[in-house]
Every structure is written in C-alpha cells, then in structure tokens.
Structure 1
Amino acid sequence: MRVPVVQHSTRRRRALRRRTLWTGGELLVTVGVVLLLLVVHQLWWTNRQAQHNAERKVQALEREWGSPSASPGGADSAGGGGSSPSPGSSDGRDTPSPTGGRRQGGGAVNAARALPDLSQAYAVLTIPRLSLRVPVAEGVGKQDVLNKGYVGHYKGTQQPGQAGNFALAGHRNTHGEPFRYINRLRRGDTITVETKAALYTYVVDTALPQTSARDGGVIARVPRSTVRPSYGYSEPGYYITLTTCTPEYTSKYRMAVWGKLRSMRPR
C-alpha cells in the first residue's frame, strides 16, 4: 500500500490559501462594519446634530428679537390674520407702483429689506402641519447652510413680503431633513416667515410633484415650470416656493410647493 507523500510546498500553498481566505473574510467584515457606520452617521447622527443646531439657532434669533411671535399651532401660524394688511395695501410693505418702481413704507418693515450676509440666518420658517420650525439663511450652500439643518434662501429671489417669489431650498433626507415631508402639504395650509421686522403668513396653493433639477422656472419671480408649463403662475404676485429633492434619498429630480402671501404683521 502506497502512502501519499505531501510535500512541504503543497502544505505551504494550502496554508497560504487559508490565510488569504481568512484575511479576505476579515476585510469584508471590516468593510461592512465601516459602511454600516457611514449609513448610521448619514441617516441618524447628521440629522440629530443638524436638528439640534437648527433649534439652537431659532432660540438665538428669538432672544435677539425678543419674545417669539409665532409657534406651530399658534394663532398667527394657523392663519389668524385678524386685521393684518393684505398684499398690495399701503401698510408699509414694498408694493408695486404704477411707474414700475416701488413705494416704501414704515421704517420697521424697511429694516427687513437690508440684504443679509451670505450664510447668515435671518428668519424663522414655521409650518404647523409638519411641526416644523427652522432657521432661514441666505444662500443654498451645502456646508454653510443646508447641512446645518437650515433652510436656504435662493439669492436673487425676493425677500419675505416682497412682490415676487421668496424661494427656499432644504434637504429632504439627512442633515436635519427639514423638507422631508413637504409632499404632505395641502392647499390652504399655512406657512409663516418671521423676521426681526415682521411676521408674514403665506397659504399653500399648489405643488409641482417632480421636475428637472435645472428647472429654474420654479423659482422665477412669477414661478412657472419650464419643464412642465402647466404648473405655475402667469401673473405677478406675492409667492413663496419650497424646493427639495425627489424621490427620497436621491437628488435626481426636484419638487416644489408654492404658496401666496395672505397677511403681514409688523413686530
């Protein structure tokens, strides 16, 4: 009977294969753990950190202005305009004049017309249906604005209460995701914007479920989609636009919610 002879070189090759397989398995497990941690960081930690940061900024603005004048579910945010002036009235707001210029009113409201510095938080957006209260900062840069959990104001669009379009952007997922549920907004829901000078109440009018990320028409002075022209407006007015990415967890398309100014109350 012949006994098979296993040479040293064969044993070494087998041992090398075992070590390679073991090392490969350890690497795969390590990579899996790292990816899991990255997912947790993106979906949980960035949200927690940004939401906390946004809440602190809202509180800081309220301290700077004095006591808060609006909160989710409050009389003003729920649309209790009372005797508040309507768009176009001679209430101290920036209103169109027959010559194409603008009439300026009370000094307290005019203070809101000074353009904020880039990335500066200068207003508070409140949406009662979403239980959302978040800072508004100038610009839509990711690192300096959106990733902080803020909502960003598109430079070149109008400021709150001005004739035209006050256009905003916010993350739908991660980094506080303030606009995650704006698809739940319905016609008639209220949106308030509070600045140092005044409280503006807008009412949701319509929404554009999906359009190209390059559809600049949705934030035009008279907002109207250039991709889907049946969505939007044809006449000047006092508009607010909320934009975010869609579908969730992608940035391929954009969605927009439009509203109209109903009232303004000076602080």
Structure 2
Amino acid sequence: MRAVRPLRLIVRTLSEICLTVGAVIVLFVAYVLFWTGVKAAGATDGEIVRLQEEWTRLPLEQAPSGAPPEPVRAYTSGKPFAVMYIPRFGADWDWPVLEGTSAGTLKKGLGHYQGTARPGETGNFAVAGHRRTYGDPFKDVPRLKPGDAVILTDGTTWFTYRVKRAPYRTVPSDVAVIDPVPRRSGFDGPGRYLTLTTCEPEWGSSHRLVVWAHLDATRPVTDGKPEAFHS
C-alpha cells in the first residue's frame, strides 16, 4: 500500500502540469485570436483619426498655373500617410497605410515597403499586411479576382487600382515581386502599379501571397468618392 502513494503523487503532479500547460495554451490562443485584434482595432482607428485631423489642414485647391510645385514631403517611418479600401472585403474594411514594414508598424495597420513608389506614381507602390492576428487585414486576399478595385486616398486624391490577376504564391525570399515592374505580374513595361503581400498559409509564414494591380483612375477628394466603391 505504501508504494501506491508515490504513484498517486506522480499521477497527480503530471495531471496538474497538464492542466497548467492546457490553460497556458488556451490563454495564448485567446491572445492571438482575440486580444491582438482588439489592440489592432484601437491602433488602426487611432491612426485613421490622426490622418483625418492632418487632412483637415491640407489645402485642397490646386495651385495657380505656373506656380512652383510644392516640395514632396518624405514619409515618416511608422507614421500613416494614406487609407486603403477594398470593396471586395466589405463596406467597413478600411485600413491605414504606414511607412515601413517593421513588426511594430504592422501591428497598427498596413506597411509601405520603403523605397517603393508612392500612390499614383510611376513604379510599384508595395504594401504588406498580416493575414492573421492584429485585425486580420489581409485574411481575405485569396478572394481577390481580376478587375477588383483597391482604393487609396492621401487626403487630397483618390487612387483606384484594378487587380491584374489571381493571387500569386511564392517564397519570402522572392523580393522581385516588389520591383518597379514585378516579374510574373503580367506587366510588360513601366507603369503605375500596386503590390499587396501577405503570409501563406493562413496560419503560417512559409510562403507569401502576392496581388498585383495597376492604376485605373484618380480624382480629387473634392469630387467625392470613386464609383469603384460601388462596383
């Protein structure tokens, strides 16, 4: 009978360890699935509010003909400069675009690959976003189809891009996907392009999903939202 007691102690200890490990796993999953989304919602809303406040101070009227052009203001690392909308993802899908793709930046919104073009410029405006966690901004990227609209505004102009082809799967080291003329994009020369990148598979990061689009139209914000919001 005495030998039974150590066995019971071992079983009880192992049971307690299993329960503790299980509780930690449950808490971690809750953090990943829920709490990072809550944090992202607050962060992204704050970044959009900051942008809107800045935009209220922007001059929306065109400069007189012959006036010297305004100097191009450099983007600030980690700070927002545009808002992106993808109608395919729903009417309430709107995300700030910030400069840079660091882990901290991508917790607050989408990240612009530094050194790539600005919205509307000749070249490739390349943007990264989480597939899952921190609000799941690019969770539905596989749903994008040729012709779908990706819309951005910088406070003065609306930029409407159209998706060129279905999402392309590649490896993280394939950095050529954000070249000025991305290889395998179907574009055959310089133009005004957009690239979206996110992780693949949905809960992993062994690969990347890439979406390419081309600039379809621009319009001043004073003319109202583009028709692409309703197409």
TM-score normalised over the length of structure 1: 0.74
- CA distance change for structure 1 residues 19 and 34 in 2, over 3 Å: closer, same or farther? same
Residues 138-149 of structure 1 aligned to structure 2 (within 5 Å): 138-143=99-104, 145-148=105-108
Contact 2:141 2:167 in 1 (8 A): no
What's the CA shift string for 1:34-81, capped at 9, x where partnerless?
A: 1011011101111122023212321331232139xxxxxxxxxxxxxx
User: What amino acid is aligned across from residue 207 of structure 1 in structure 2?
Assistant: A
Residues 163-182 of structure 1 aligned to structure 2 (within 5 Å): 163-182=122-141
User: What amino acid is aligned across from residue 147 of structure 1 in structure 2?
Assistant: K
- CA distance change for structure 1 residues 19 and 123 in 2, over 3 Å: closer, same or farther? same
TM-score normalised over the length of structure 2: 0.85
Name the count of aligned residue pairs.
Answer: 212
Between the aligned partners of 1:114 and 1:128, the Cα distance in structure 2 is 29
Shift of 1:106: 7.7
Between the aligned partners of 1:27 and 1:162, the Cα distance in structure 2 is 58
Structure 1 match to 2:173: 214
- CA distance change for structure 1 residues 59 and 202 in 2, over 3 Å: closer, same or farther? same
Percentage identity across paired residues of the two chains: 38
Residues 93-132 of structure 1 aligned to structure 2 (within 5 Å): 107=69, 113-131=72-90, 132=93
What's the CA shift string for 1:200-248, capped at 9, x where partnerless?
A: 1111121343111111111000011xxxx4x432211000111101111
User: What amino acid is aligned across from residue 210 of structure 1 in structure 2?
Assistant: R
Shift of 1:142: 0.8
What secondary structure does 2:215 align onto? strand
Match of 2:192 among 238, 247, 255: 238
Contact 1:193 1:199 in 2 (8 A): yes
Between the aligned partners of 1:24 and 1:165, the Cα distance in structure 2 is 56
User: What amino acid is aligned across from residue 263 of structure 1 in structure 2?
Assistant: A
Contact 1:187 1:206 in 2 (8 A): yes
What's the CA shift string for 1:100-127, capped at 9, x where partnerless?
A: xxxxx984xx56x322111111111111
RMSD: 2.1
1:152 and 2:111 matched: yes
Contact 1:218 1:232 in 2 (8 A): no
Between the aligned partners of 2:48 and 2:102, the Cα distance in structure 1 is 19
Structure 2 match to 1:223: 182
Between the aligned partners of 1:265 and 1:205, the Cα distance in structure 2 is 21
Match of 1:135 among 96, 104, 112: 96
What secondary structure does 1:166 align onto? strand
Contact 1:221 1:236 in 2 (8 A): yes
- State which structure, 1 or 2, has the greater radius of gyration over its C-alpha atoms: 1
What secondary structure does 1:261 align onto? strand
